[in-house]
Amino acid sequence: MTGLAASIERRNGVSLWRQIADRILQAIANGDFAENAALPPEMALAERYGVNRHTVRSAIAALVQEGVLKAEQGRGTFVLSRKRLSYPIGARTRFSTGLQGQTTERHIALLSSSTEPAGRRIAEALGIAKGAAVIRLETRGEADGHPVSRATTWFDAKRFAGIEAAMAETGSITTSLKRFGINDYLRHSTVLSARHADADDLAALDLQPGAIVLVTVAVNVTLDGQPIQFAESRFPAERVELRLLAND
């Protein structure tokens, strides 16, 4: 709530400097600091958290490396990045339209694609036989040049043959689906969890190790309830919050 408060724990496997860095990130994401505002001096932070000044310096160094803070000798340490993006989730969740107003540009980059046999979970979600061919797309959502999501998406290979080419060309799932005669679709289910980012997420989302990702597992269906898409998306918790829409 009050950002920089909240104490830290010792000998728990997470170093003190990492915990302090997390707290600072959290405070910034909560909007407790205006852009370009000065962080409290190192000595003040050290006192607040009950640690040595050098420990605070380690935390700040990590965030400077990350591009979140900027330290200036003699002046102070300043906040560069801003409040979290708010990503809406509802029946008509769309990447591009969801971030309108908060960003000036956004698109989905196709990182790779492949065809593979469907596992149990994916087959059930898509309503096809286990082992049937599915197309897997690995994508990254970008807004104003910053990565904001990393998703793995599966489509029935029979029905959506060639969708990876459409994705690469258009940079939009919605537009790609139109080529297959699907002009509208709804989100049928969403399950939400959170975990530490793995190596893949770290690289794709430009995160520092130890970062947290929000994970959504969703099924999209046509208007008559036919499942067409199964997706697991990861959002960096320090840059994105999810806003659940009541109706739509």
- Tokens of residue 33, six digits: 């600091």
Task: Give me the least distance between CB of 157 and DNA, in Å please.
Answer: 39
Residue matched to tokens 């002009």: 183
**What is the x/- site pattern for a second copy, positions 75-114, by CB under 8 A?**
---------x-x--x-x-----------------------
Nearest partner of 27 among 15, 19, 186, judged by Cα: 19
Indicate whether 198 belongs to the interface with a second copy (CB under 8 A).
yes
Q: Are 133 and 116 spatial neighbours (Cβ–Cβ below 8 Å)?
A: yes
Q: Which does 139 bind (CB under 5 to 8 A by kind): a second copy, DNA, none?
A: none
Task: Give me the least distance between CB of 102 and a second copy, in Å please.
Answer: 14
Indicate whether 207 belongs to the interface with DNA (CB under 7 A).
no
Q: How far apart are CA 79 and CA 193, in angstroms?
A: 29
CA 43 to chain centre: 33
Q: Which does 191 bind (CB under 5 to 8 A by kind): a second copy, DNA, none?
A: a second copy
Nearest partner of 131 among 121, 142, 143, 146, judged by Cα: 121
Nearest partner of 201 among 187, 190, 214, judged by Cα: 214
Indicate whether 208 belongs to the interface with a second copy (CB under 8 A).
yes
Binding site for a second copy (CB under 8 A): 1, 6-9, 12-15, 17-19, 21-22, 26, 29, 62, 84, 86, 89, 91, 152, 186-196, 198-200, 202, 208-210, 212-214, 232, 237, 241-244, 246-247
